[in-house]
Amino acid sequence: MEKLSCKVIWVVCCFLQSTTALAQQPVKRHILALYSASQQQNPKVTRIHQNVEMVLNHLGCIVEYHDIDSGVPTAATMAKYRGIISWFEGNDFPAKELFMCWLPQPIHDGKKYVHLGSLTGFQPDGEKITKEISAAFFKTLGLRCEDDLWEDNPAKIVVAEKKPDLVEFERTLENELSYYTLV
């Protein structure tokens, strides 16, 4: 748990760091926390509330929750936010396509974004998530997803590199990875 807390604090500190704020301008303190009511009915049971909000509050931020299943915030609503954070319970939720199409705009407008958890599930699914939507989403995050390069046989997965201070403090990764997608 201590290692998770250190990682969360580091991510949050990087998230809050800003080089564009001038001393004469008020610092935006509001953070938009996205969750899916289809996964967590109440913001108080989200991983953001349970693991991250206290750190953000300690750093002077005000966390406000928004159910992404009810639609995306407007540009006018987004004006007060310093950044956006999301940590979904798996990436299968009703508004996933809407979220993926909306997110590039606030990031383009200068909002910081932190996604905690896996990015698996944001690849093309052959139904609603097209290759174009997926590619634009990952490009916004500075990533590229090779959706056709994946493996779901744990015996064939080989860990090419690992950082000992981040993994294997409880058990080895041998045969623990059930699938991977090349991102």
Q: Residues 83, 106: one domain?
A: yes
Chain centre to alpha carbon of residue 34: 9
Asked whether the predicted pLDDT for residue 180 surpasses 70, the reply is: no
CA nearest neighbour of 29 among 87, 83, 110 = 83
Candidate from 18-32, 110-124, 128-142 with smallest mean pLDDT:
18-32
Give the pLDDT mean for 49-55: 95
Residue 2 resides in a domain: no
Residue 86 sits in a domain of what CATH number?
Answer: 3.40.50.2300
Distance CA 56, CA 29 (A): 9
Computed from CA positions of residues 116, 121, 127, 132, in that sequence, does the dihedral angle turn out positive or negative? positive
Q: Residues 113, 100: one domain?
A: yes
Question: Quick count: other Cβ atoms within 10 Å of Cβ 122?
Answer: 23
Residue 10 resides in a domain: no
pLDDT single digits (tens) 125-163: 878 888 899 999 999 999 888 766 666 666 777 777 888
Asked whether the predicted pLDDT for residue 77 surpasses 70, the reply is: yes
Asked if 36 contacts 141 with a C-beta cutoff of 8 angstroms, the reply is no
Residue 97 resides in a domain: yes
- Which range of residues forms the domain containing residue 177? 145-183
Q: How confident is the model at residue 10 (pLDDT cuts 50, 70, 90)?
A: low
Q: Residues 130, 167: one domain?
A: no
Residue 152 resides in a domain: yes
The confidence score (pLDDT) of residue 20 equals: 46
Q: Which two tokens stand for residue 44?
A: 């108080």
Candidate from 18-22, 95-99, 126-130 with smallest mean pLDDT:
18-22
The confidence score (pLDDT) of residue 29 equals: 94
Asked whether the predicted pLDDT for residue 78 surpasses 60, the reply is: yes
Distance CA 71, CA 53 (A): 22
Candidate from 24-28, 42-46, 52-56, 134-138 with smallest mean pLDDT:
24-28
Round the average pLDDT of the chain to a whole number and report it.
83
Q: Residues 31, 78: one domain?
A: yes
